[in-house]
Structure 1
C-alpha cells in the first residue's frame, strides 16, 4: 500500500492524485494511502486530513451512492462548484463575474428515483451503493424532502406486488401539491392482478397519481405543480427542477435578465417553469420538443388568472432551431437545454438581434462552448449565478446573463 497526495477534485467529486489516480471521498491537499487498481485507488485511508473535511451529516453516507461530497464543508463545496464553472469558461478563453452561489437546504429534494428490490420478507427501497448494484436502505436520508421519504413504504409495496426477485424496480417519486406522483419502470407486464392491485396501493398510500411503465393506473388527484400563478399537471416523469429553492433561485435570475421585455421566447420550455411566471408581465412563446409537456403548459396557462398570452410550438430544437427571422420579434430569450447544450439553436441566436438572453445550464462544459459562440457573435456575458440544488453532489447548475452591445 503506497502513499499519495490528492491534488484536486474531478468533475464527479473524486479526489485525483498523480497518475491520474481517482480516490473517492478525499479532498485536495490530503495525504492518503491506498492500492492502485487501474486508474482508481482502493482501500483508501486518510493519513493527513484536509481542514475542509467535516463529519458527514447523514449516517448512510459511507455506503449510499446518492451523495458524493458530504465529507466536505459547505464553504468548500460552494467554492469548488463556482470554480468548476470558472475553469470551463477559462478553457474557452472567457471570464465572468460570479454572483454568490445559491444552495438548496438539506431535506429539500422533491424528486427521487428509488431503486427497489423484492426480498424474502418483502422489499427494500433506497439508492445504490457506490459503484455497485447493491441497494442500500436510507431511512434517515438527509437529502430528500420528508414527503418524498414518506413514499418509501409505497415503493416497497409496489415491488412486492409487481416486481420480480431477480429484477429491480425504479420508482420515481415526485412531490406535488396533491401528494406523491409515482412513476414505476422495470416491473412485471400489466395483467389483471396488477390492474386490480395497483389502484389499491395508490389508495392505501394516498398517492396522487400512479403510473406503471408509462400507463396511468390510478389518479386520485391530478398532481399539480405551481409555476408562478399557474397550476400545471406535468406528464408522468416529466422534467422538474430538483428543489423549490433551486427553482426559485433560477427563476429570480431569469426574471432579472429578461427585465421589462414585452415579447419573450422560451426555448426548451418544458412544462412552463419559466414561461408561465414570465407571462405575468410579458407575452411568451414557448418552444419544446415534447408535445405532452406543452399541452400541460397550455392547460395551466388557460386556467391561471391574469396572465399575458402564452403561445406554444412543439419543435425539435436540435434538428430545427428557431431561425433569425423567427426570432426577430422577441426582445429576450430564455434557453434551458439538456446536458448536451444547444449548439444548433445558439448558432441561430448568434445570427439574431435578440437583445437579452437568460441561459440556464446543467453542464458547465457545454455551457462554456455555447457561451463562447455567443460572445464571439457580439454578446456580452454580464454575470453568472451558480445554483446548487443538487446539494452534496458533483452536479452544477447555473444561469448566465447575455446582452447585445
Structure 2
C-alpha cells in the first residue's frame, strides 16, 4: 500500500471518485470531482486519509455510520451533484447501447421512505450485532440508526436485534429481510443453521410481546404470525406472502404505476410479466383485462385471492412460469395489445426477443438495472418498437441503484 496525493477527475457508476495515475484509474470512495486528496492506494483502490482541497459540492452526511457502513455511497454529495450523478448512471448505460432518448430524472424520494431492507446478524463474543457489511468487505458494521429506512424499522432496531439474538446460535451469520407493511413488520430470516423448539418458543414469545413484528419466518418456515399483513396497490388491499418483493419506496411505486397505467390505458388486454404480487396488475385491471405471469406461486396466489374479494376490476388471470427460461412466445403474445415487464436485475432478454417478434402495440419496460435495460431496449427497437420516453426514478436513496421506466410503441 502506498500513500499518494491525487485529484479526482470524475465520479464512477458506484459513486466512487476516480483519479488517474501512471498505472491507470484509482477508485476512491467518498470523494468528489475536483477534490485533491491524500489516500492509501493498493492496486486500483484507495482509501482517503485526508481531503486536502474539498469540493463545494461536499455536504455533511446525515448518518453517523456513513463511510463505514456499506449501505450508502453518496451522502457526502449535495442535491444537485447527487441528482446529476444518478442521471449519468442511466445516460452512460443507454449511450453505450446507442440509445439517445432524453431521460427525465425524478429525485423526490425522501429519507425515511425505504420500506424494505436486508440486515445481517452476527454472533460475536460481545453478543449479536445487527447491521450492514462494510463496502467490499465481510466486516459487519453494527448500526444504531439508518436515516433512509422506514421510521418503523429504525424505531424497532433494538427489538429486531433481540429477535436476531435468539436465532443466531452459531458463528454463521443470519440475514433478515425486513419489510414495513401497512400494519406492521414482516421479517424473513435466512441462515445456514437450524434452530430447535426452545428457540422457536422463545422467539415467538419475543415477537408477541413486542407487537410490531406481525410475522416472522425462518428459512421459509413461518414461525409466528400474529396478524395478517397487508399492503395496497392502488385502492386494492393484498396480503403479500412472507419476504415478498415490493418496490423499495411507496412514493416511487406510485410514480411508476402512474407512468405505466397512462401508457397502457387504451390496451384492452395487458400481459403483466414478472408481476410479483400485483404492483401493476391491480391498477391496470381498472381499465384492462390483465394476465399476470410470475415464477412465484405464492405471489400469484396473492393476486388470485385479492381479485376474488375485490369489486370494480376487469378480469385478472394468472400463470406460473419462469420467463427467463420459458418466455411468452410470439403466438401467445398476439392476444395482448399492451405489455409491462419488471424483471430481476438480469433483465428480460429472452422475453424481449419474443416481444420484438410479436404484434404487441405498446410496452412499458421497468428495470432497476440500466445496463440490462439498455440491452433489452436495443432488442425491442430492433424489432420495430420506438422509445417514447424514459424516466429515471431515485427510489434507492444514496446508493448506486436507480429505477427506470421506458415506454415503447410500434412505429
TM-score normalised by structure 1 residue count: 0.96
Is 1:11 matched up with 2:13?
yes
Q: Which moved more, 1:80-89 or 1:381-390?
A: 80-89
| Match of residue 50 from structure 1 | 55
- Conserved? CA contact 1:97–1:382, under 8 Å: no
Which one of the candidate residues 226, 235, 243 is aligned to 2:241?
Answer: 235
The answer for unaligned runs of 5 or more in structure 1 is none
Q: Which moved more, 1:32-41 or 1:128-137?
A: 128-137
Q: How far 1:120 sits from its partner (Å)?
A: 5.1
| Match of residue 27 from structure 1 | 32
- Conserved? CA contact 1:102–1:249, under 8 Å: no
Q: How far 1:150 sits from its partner (Å)?
A: 2.8
**Following the alignment from structure 2 to structure 1, what is the Cα–Cα distance between the partners of residues 49 and 261?**
46
**Following the alignment from structure 2 to structure 1, what is the Cα–Cα distance between the partners of residues 324 and 167?**
37
| Match of residue 226 from structure 1 | 232
Taking a change above 3 Å as real, the CA distance of residues 345 and 336 of structure 1, as seen in their structure-2 partners, is same
| Match of residue 90 from structure 2 | 85
Is 1:75 matched up with 2:80?
yes
Q: How far 1:213 sits from its partner (Å)?
A: 1.1
- Conserved? CA contact 2:364–2:405, under 8 Å: yes
Residues 80-99 of structure 1 show CA distances to partners (whole Å, capped at 9, x for unaligned) of 11121111111111111222
Is 1:96 matched up with 2:101?
yes
Residues 333-383 of structure 1 show CA distances to partners (whole Å, capped at 9, x for unaligned) of 001111111111000100011111100011111111111111122111111
Q: How far 1:392 sits from its partner (Å)?
A: 0.5
**Following the alignment from structure 1 to structure 2, what is the Cα–Cα distance between the partners of residues 367 and 188?**
37
Q: How far 1:226 sits from its partner (Å)?
A: 0.8
* Aligned residues between the structures: 405
- Conserved? CA contact 1:66–1:127, under 8 Å: yes
Which one of the candidate residues 277, 280, 301 is aligned to 1:274?
Answer: 280
| Match of residue 197 from structure 2 | 192
Q: How far 1:165 sits from its partner (Å)?
A: 5.3
- Conserved? CA contact 2:119–2:177, under 8 Å: yes
| Match of residue 347 from structure 1 | 353
**Following the alignment from structure 1 to structure 2, what is the Cα–Cα distance between the partners of residues 151 and 188?**
25
**Following the alignment from structure 1 to structure 2, what is the Cα–Cα distance between the partners of residues 174 and 305?**
27
**Following the alignment from structure 1 to structure 2, what is the Cα–Cα distance between the partners of residues 297 and 153?**
34
1:321-332 equivalences under 5 Å are: 321-332=327-338
**Following the alignment from structure 1 to structure 2, what is the Cα–Cα distance between the partners of residues 300 and 74?**
40
Q: How far 1:198 sits from its partner (Å)?
A: 2.0
The answer for unaligned runs of 5 or more in structure 2 is none
**Following the alignment from structure 1 to structure 2, what is the Cα–Cα distance between the partners of residues 130 and 94?**
32
**Following the alignment from structure 2 to structure 1, what is the Cα–Cα distance between the partners of residues 165 and 297?**
34
- Conserved? CA contact 2:37–2:48, under 8 Å: no
Aligned-residue CA RMSD in angstroms?
A: 1.6
